[in-house]
Amino acid sequence: MALQSPQKLSNYVGNQVTAASEKYLEVTSPHNGETIALVPLSTANDVDVAVTSAKAAFGAWSGLTFKARSAYLLKLYVELQAHADELAELIVREHGKNRAEAKGDVAKGLETLEYALSLPQLTQGRVAYVSSGVQCRDERVALGVVGGIVPFNFPFMVPFWTIPIALGMGNTYVLKPSEKVPMTMTRVAELASRVLPAGVLNIVHGDAKCAQSLVEHTDVRAIAFVGTSAVAEQIHLRATQLGKRVLALGGAKNHLVALPDCDIEMTAQDVVNSFAGCAGERCMAASVLLVVGEQPELVERIVAKARALEPGTDGVRAMGPVIDAGAVSRITSAIARAEEEGAELLLDGRSEPLFAERRAQGGFWIGPSVIRHTSSTDCALHDEIFGPVLSILHCPNFDAALAVENANCYGNAACVYTQSGASAEYFTQRFEAAMIGVNVGVPVPREPFSFGGIHRSRFGTCDITGDAAIEFFSFRRKITTKWGIAAEKSWMN
């Protein structure tokens, strides 16, 4: 598909382009602020068309064996893998990731699809004789039409946290991509139409009203959401009130702890990768570094490595823009407030010359910032900034660092940097987070381990990937049978 600017997008329903609302929203390039696409603001009627398509396809799709559905998913994998570079370029264009990060976005999404190819083996039920002549077995059953609502920060990976397993389990799917990055999944829908039966995967574009219509549609049996905690909580409450199964992942404030015995070079590089990678726009990014003791060399090296980052798309030091002008405003305001509260700006991304120059040309560029705090009550230590900002707070001992991490209302990720197994164990057993790293600043689990937080980072009972997703996107049907007269008598026969 040739890349055009601006591209007028449509919904993709039943394996074909479908008309939607005549109202459109401009999609801007984070690189320069130019309009690159027009995305339709779908109405409740548009959502109904997509759900109706998915519902019509459900009977035949769920009636296939796991092996037959896996064969379709394998064809989808081959099709997407063949266009991986094209999809990565779309991510660079509409989101702003550097090229390596965009390729990683696609690769990580395809990993979940690879995992889903094993569902015929992973979903085998159990069979047991529970009494003389009485047999019980269970089997996985699809829910029906499921809906997905995803954020802007990973245009391919986050939708593919749920799509492969949901489809592999026999459900049909309606996805609402983020209106800020709609181009990638529109192209995915076009590619999927070559290999999947009509109605199995449907794309409907829009804003919050469109998302609400999807949540409230009577034929949607389950909702998977990823976004801010405030919206996640609202969607969880509303979908639960309507009797739907719902999993809503929210925000995070992730803490890294550097112990005095940490490897300084490795720790410094990993901290910078964690807080500035993907311009800090990921729910697993580092937000706070708790330094046990003073460790001036570590702090100096972090600042030096962060200062060496440059605005751009290619190269090991390239850092992309943030998503839009609103993100720039939110980040700069957080830095300004920290300064007003008395924190020390070790590196001020607002005024870094190369980034400021690109921002003046119309793009949404802001350099990495490192802030040293002396008060644990500073707002930057608690608010989710969602940008390339690292807050540093010195702590006198292990338990003081744990007290800061444990007090935050989120529970996504935490990490400890140390060369001591005993120290690592001390922290991993006491962190109030669901995904924990030891010398790994972005501790994302890989299949079959599942992704998901606790506290205000997750609303719902399951994680969103891995074996937890199998549980979420199906229910267990239990069948008890008896044939003939049992040789023994018991209360069951």
CB atoms within 10 A of CB 333: 11
Q: Which of 106, 32, 11, 24 lies closest to 364 in space, CA to CA?
A: 32
| 359: amino acid identity, one letter | R
**β-pair type (145-149, 220-226):** parallel
| 407: amino acid identity, one letter | A
Q: Which of 283, 395, 415, 462 is catalytic?
A: 283
Structure tokens at 55: 């519902």
Residue carrying the six token digits 């989101």: 95
CB atoms within 10 A of CB 443: 19
Residue carrying the six token digits 């410094």: 268
- Whether the Cβ atoms of residue 417 and residue 395 lie closer than 8 Å to each other: no
By the 10 Å C-beta count (0-12 exposed, 13-18 middle, 19+ buried), 21 is classed as middle
Is there a catalytic annotation at residue 262? no
Measure the N-to-C terminal CA separation of the chain; round to a whole number of Å. Answer: 64
Structure tokens at 107: 């690769």
Q: Which residues are catalytic?
A: 283
